[in-house]
Amino acid sequence: MTAAAAAREDAGAPVPHWPAPYAARPINATVTVPGSKSLTNRYLVLAALADGPSRLRAPLHSRDSALMIDALRNLGATITEVPGDGAFGPDLEVVPLQQGRPAGPTGGSGPEVRIDCGLAGTVMRFVPPLAALRSGASTFDGDPHARKRPMGTIIEALKALGVSVSGEDGGTPGSLPFIVEGTGEVRGGHLVIDASASSQFVSALLLVGARFTEGLHLEHVGKPVPSLDHITMTVAVLRGAGVVVDDSVPNHWVVSPGPIRAFDQQIEQDLSNAGPFLAAALASHGTVRVPGWPAGTQQVGDLWRSILAQMGASVSLEDGVLTVTGGPEIKGGDFADTSELAPTVAALCALAGSPSRLTGIAHLRGHETDRLAALVTEINRLGGDAEETSDGLVIRPRKLHAGVVHSYADHRMATAGAILGLAVEGVQVEDIATTAKTMPDFPRLWADMLAPDSNGVGGSREGSTAEGSAGAAKD
Ligand SMILES: O=C(O)C1=C[C@@H](OP(=O)(O)O)[C@@H](O)[C@H](O)C1
Ligand SMILES: C=C(OP(=O)(O)O)C(=O)O
């Protein structure tokens, strides 16, 4: 449950479930979604470490980006909202923090700062190495479930780099909360980690590696690193800011010491978050178009083009518009390494006419919730047939019925419930507000997508709340 929902429940007013709109007819809509969480939070970190002021154009404004902004401000960066052209909020100007200096104007060790990570993996993994470059103590904590997310690799990595990390009781922590005691510089050099629980451990260290005195030679040892696309994105973003990164040897990344160039960067829309809208084309046997699809991107969401085609949709990318038209039936199949796309894929598999196997996603047990357990529980709660395997899910066709889909404070569980509701009448989603983690506008964008279009092709039984739409347009 989100903090806002919890606060309302504490106040005695239970939050009503969200009646997921049922698509009585094929959807026909054009949808633009807000900026990428992964790109926004990477560029914010880089801007905080850069050699001058930077600008992020059309960034994401959501709980995860707000947490990142607050964290970087607490560490001494100045971040200002300035008017921009984005449909979902202002641009951001970032004046970097001064490495080695405390947040305040005094010399010596800076005041203790507290960093709220919420449930944001990017904040809890990317910010501690940055706090190590500041002089002073930074205490990290987050939502109740954040304390269960894997953090040991970052804690051990910082300690191996000579940074003091302790629990609030003075002992050695294995997870949040913990205190990073920075001295203002980190020597760097060769560092061996096990990043099999999250790619974010690698990204976190690479993002700051150029500011270590000797740079960083990061080596992964252990089971394969998941979500490799996100590391490719980190390397690309770093190179764009003039950082020299050698990733030519598998499981080794060498970041040369040097400046991070200030930048003026347009943020791509979030292709992972475009997923539920594209999935709606399959669930309703209609058509959804997403304009502004990047021609070349490191976002894992670009995989929608192949995944949805494999599921029987016709998919085309012309003049930057991705058009997805659902076939008469959703096809199940084998889907490997779908990373953060998996909850959306699983929702479609639960609506498919043939069995599916999702593999390479064991690490989803450490995401916002244990996503494998949550997906099995919620699909089966609606009468489906889903089963956990050691590294994923098996989902077999079975007719679903009405019911409540629980969100577990997980934005992608909530949007998975919305997809199921398009095809199954009477689905309700508990705590739809949790989508604010990466897409505060989700309920409005979803309603806009479903509103009857001008030629009467699309529409839903819920009717339209399409007024004032910034991101969804009907044809
Ligand atoms: O670096 C990033 O921006 C992300 C990396 C991935 O984490 P994992 O490697 O833990 O899956 C992904 O699932 C997450 O949503 C965002
Ligand atoms: C795993 C996810 O988020 P986080 O950045 O919190 O790890 C996600 O958005 O699917």
Q: Are residues 275 and 143 in the same domain?
A: no
| For range 240-258, the mean pLDDT | 98
Whether residue 409 contacts residue 368, with contact meaning beta carbons closer than 8 Å, is answered with yes
Q: Are residues 304 and 350 in the same domain?
A: yes
Domain of 114 in residue numbering reads as 37-266
Cα of 438 vs centre of ligand 1, distance in Å, is: 13
User: Which of 216, 245, 266 finishes a domain?
Assistant: 266
pLDDT, the chain, mean: 92
Q: Are residues 90 and 106 in the same domain?
A: yes
Cα of 84 vs centre of ligand 1, distance in Å, is: 28
Whether pLDDT at 460 is above 50: no
Q: Are residues 47 and 86 in the same domain?
A: yes
Q: Are residues 90 and 193 in the same domain?
A: yes
- The pLDDT score that the predictor gives to residue 468 is 31
Q: Are residues 289 and 401 in the same domain?
A: yes
User: Which of 244, 266, 288 finishes a domain?
Assistant: 266
Q: Are residues 102 and 216 in the same domain?
A: yes
Question: How many domains does the structure of the chain reveal?
Answer: 2
For residue 104, is it left (φ>0), alpha (ψ between -120 and 50) or beta? beta
> Which domain CATH number covers 9?
3.65.10.10
Is 340 tagged catalytic?
Answer: yes
| For range 108-136, the mean pLDDT | 94
b/e code 326-335 from CB counts within 10 Å (16+ = b): beeebbbbeb
Q: Are residues 197 and 295 in the same domain?
A: no
Q: What is the dihedral of CA 369, 373, 376, 379, to 10 degrees?
A: -30
Was 437 annotated as part of a binding site? Answer: yes
- The pLDDT score that the predictor gives to residue 347 is 99
Percent above pLDDT 70 for the chain? 91
- The pLDDT score that the predictor gives to residue 431 is 97
Q: Are residues 398 and 420 in the same domain?
A: yes
**Position in ligand 1 atom list of the atom nearest CA 366:** 10
Q: Are residues 245 and 381 in the same domain?
A: no
Interface confidence (ipTM) of the complex: 0.99
Whether residue 333 contacts residue 392, with contact meaning beta carbons closer than 8 Å, is answered with no
More confident of the two residues 322 and 4:
322
Q: Hey, how many other C-beta atoms are within 10 angstroms of the C-beta on 199?
A: 24
Rounded to 5°, the CA angle 77-232-54 comes to 25
Cα of 327 vs centre of ligand 2, distance in Å, is: 30
Was 339 annotated as part of a binding site? Answer: no
Ligand 2 pocket test target in 65, 147, 234, 340 with most atoms within 8 Å of CB: 340
Was 121 annotated as part of a binding site? Answer: yes
Q: Are residues 25 and 48 in the same domain?
A: no
For residue 409, is it left (φ>0), alpha (ψ between -120 and 50) or beta? left
Instruction: Look up the pTM and report it.
Output: 0.93
126-178 pLDDT, tens per residue?
A: 999 999 999 999 999 999 999 999 999 999 999 999 999 999 888 889 999 99
Quote the DSSP letter at residue 291: S
| Rounded Cα gap, residues 418 and 145, in angstroms | 23
